[in-house]
């Protein structure tokens, strides 16, 4: 059923992900998966209601050592290797807590949290505070004590909350939602306190990651972009990362090398250098006519009448923000320093001014050859797992890139 197709560790000198294992023939949709640290294996949740632990056998094939069927479809998982705990959110709104056996040969249900009234969309466990954090289709964020499964606090989001990330040091919690907003809360043993709403995405937020060192928050969205929020700087500084052509589905920040890994439905794994200096994008200017040739834009009826001319569509230069017409912005260039890894529109005045430094790529692109639904990373071995919409799981050796 599940087979190893290729073992190409010999090529590991190339600076690209090396496909170590390809697990196919899985008989149901894989909804999410998490690599086991220091073990050739992973945990998956599937839409046939199963929670499986897959281990690589001597034959080189992966087989489930655990295949536990729950009453309802699991919708998200969080594996806490330090405490050997596995948290699984269900489409009923409940969260199951399992103890994972030493040899990964069994899981034992130890607790159930009546956390939500709708599908749990993400679950997160912090050992330091003995809390389990969760988001749900019921439009609530909630957190519970793992000591006694008591609810400590909850916060109403206006729509489906989709993902959550937590910073232990500051007890700050960030909740992504379907409307593209991020709710920023402070959690304490008495409940939660609202800090701010972060607006920037045009579509549902699918994933969040956190750089504890620099206090950067990363959000991935169905709008195909990633935003890097400088939370520690406290000035509202943001950096855009545009390098995907489809929905961003998963993000992992690699602390050791200060790289951000993103996976998308476009099939690409992108490795972003987060040590690189980036600039904030310019504000888009507002004007009723092209700033260069003065031709009115289509809504400027009076200008059109005065000049006896047809109005033109408004565009913006991605480098300086000028409001210009198509004629005055015929050039295209990638500007990685502003997060544009792909070519974007630039105005006729910026074209001769753009420097080579501005054009240096700050991300690496690797085609995983399947549309990515989820990723998981094992920092010790530098292995990356990708879950595809094609019921295939791939394990990649990232040692040559994440160095």
Select 3 or 330, whichever has its Cβ closest to Zn ion. 330
Question: Cβ of residue 346: shortest distance to Zn ion, in angstroms?
Answer: 6
Is residue 323 a contact residue for Zn ion (CB under 5 A)?
no
Is residue 51 a contact residue for Zn ion (CB under 5 A)?
no
Farthest-apart Cα atoms in the chain, separation: 81
Identify the residue among 317, 363, 372, 384 touching Zn ion (CB under 5 A): 317
Question: Cβ of residue 304: shortest distance to Zn ion, in angstroms?
Answer: 14
* Interacting positions 284-303 with Zn ion (CB under 5 A): 290, 292-293
Residues contacting 101, CB < 8 A, separation 6+: 84, 107, 108
Is residue 1 a contact residue for Zn ion (CB under 5 A)?
no
Question: Cβ of residue 294: shortest distance to Zn ion, in angstroms?
Answer: 7
In whole angstroms, give the CA distance from residue 337 to residue 65.
47
If residue 356 lies in a helix (H) or strand (E), which one and from where to where?
helix 356-359
Is residue 271 a contact residue for Zn ion (CB under 5 A)?
no
Stretch that binds Zn ion, among 149-157, 161-169, 248-256, 309-317 (CB under 5 A): 309-317
Under DSSP, is residue 239 helix (H, G, I), strand (E, B) or coil? strand
Question: Cβ of residue 285: shortest distance to Zn ion, in angstroms?
Answer: 10
Question: Cβ of residue 332: shortest distance to Zn ion, in angstroms?
Answer: 12
Is residue 110 a contact residue for Zn ion (CB under 5 A)?
no
Select 201 or 319, whichever has its Cβ closest to Zn ion. 319
Nearest to 341 by CA among 245, 267, 205: 245
In whole angstroms, give the CA distance from residue 30 to residue 47.
7
Select 93 or 296, whichever has its Cβ closest to Zn ion. 296
* Interacting positions 334-363 with Zn ion (CB under 5 A): 347, 350
Identify the residue among 18, 55, 254, 328 touching Zn ion (CB under 5 A): 328
Binding mask 120-139 for Zn ion (x = CB under 5 A): --------------------
In whole angstroms, give the CA distance from residue 231 to residue 238.
9
Separation in Å, CA 144 to CA 77, 82, 98, 121:
16, 19, 15, 16
Identify the residue among 16, 319, 340, 370 touching Zn ion (CB under 5 A): 319
Beta carbons of 153 and 179 less than 8 angstroms apart? no
Question: Cβ of residue 284: shortest distance to Zn ion, in angstroms?
Answer: 11
360-379: b (≥16 Cβ within 10 Å) or e: eebbbebebebbbbbbbbbe
In the chain the first and final C-alpha atoms are separated, in Å, by: 34
Stretch that binds Zn ion, among 117-125, 141-149, 221-229, 324-332 (CB under 5 A): 324-332
Under DSSP, is residue 302 helix (H, G, I), strand (E, B) or coil? helix
Question: Which residues of the chain form contacts with Zn ion (CB under 5 A)?
Answer: 290, 292-293, 317, 319-320, 322, 325, 327-328, 347, 350
């Amino acid at each position: 059923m599940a087979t190893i197709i290729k073992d190409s560790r010999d090529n590991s000198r190339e600076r690209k992900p090396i496909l170590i294992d390809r697990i196919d023939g899985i008989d149901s949709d894989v909804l999410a998966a998490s690599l086991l640290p220091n073990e050739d294996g992973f945990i998956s949740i599937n839409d046939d209601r199963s929670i499986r632990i897959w281990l690589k056998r001597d034959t080189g094939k992966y087989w489930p050592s655990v295949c536990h069927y729950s009453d309802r479809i699991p919708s998200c998982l969080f594996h806490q290797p330090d405490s050997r705990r596995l948290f699984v959110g269900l489409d009923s709104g409940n969260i199951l807590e399992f103890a994972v056996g030493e040899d990964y040969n069994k899981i034992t249900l130890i607790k159930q949290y009546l956390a939500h009234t709708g599908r749990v969309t993400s679950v997160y466990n912090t050992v330091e505070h003995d809390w389990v954090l969760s988001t749900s289709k019921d439009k609530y964020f909630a957190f519970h004590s793992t000591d006694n499964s008591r609810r400590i606090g909850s916060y109403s989001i206006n729509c489906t909350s989709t993902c959550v990330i937590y910073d232990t040091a500051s007890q700050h919690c960030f909740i992504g939602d379907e409307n593209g907003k991020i709710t920023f809360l402070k959690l304490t043993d008495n409940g939660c306190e609202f800090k701010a709403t972060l607006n920037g995405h045009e579509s549902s937020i699918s994933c969040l990651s956190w750089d504890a060192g620099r206090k950067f928050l990363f959000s991935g969205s169905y709008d195909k972009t990633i935003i890097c929020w400088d939370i520690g700087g406290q000035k509202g500084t943001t950096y855009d990362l545009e390098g995907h052509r489809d929905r961003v589905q998963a993000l992992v920040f690699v602390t050791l090398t200060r790289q951000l890994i993103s996976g998308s439905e476009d099939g690409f794994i992108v490795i972003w250098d987060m040590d690189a200096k980036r600039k904030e994008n310019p504000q888009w200017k507002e004007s009723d006519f092209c700033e260069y040739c003065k031709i009115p834009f289509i809504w400027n009826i009076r200008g059109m009448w005065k000049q006896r001319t047809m109005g033109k569509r408004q565009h913006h230069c991605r480098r300086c923000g000028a409001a210009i017409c198509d004629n005055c912005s015929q050039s295209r260039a990638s500007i990685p320093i502003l997060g544009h890894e792909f070519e974007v529109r630039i105005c006729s005045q910026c074209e001769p001014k753009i420097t080579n430094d501005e054009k240096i790529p700050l991300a690496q692109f690797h085609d995983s050859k399947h549309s990515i639904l989820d990723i998981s990373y094992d920092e010790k071995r530098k292995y990356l797992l990708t879950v595809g919409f094609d019921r295939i799981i791939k394990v990649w050796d990232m040692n040559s890139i994440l160095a």
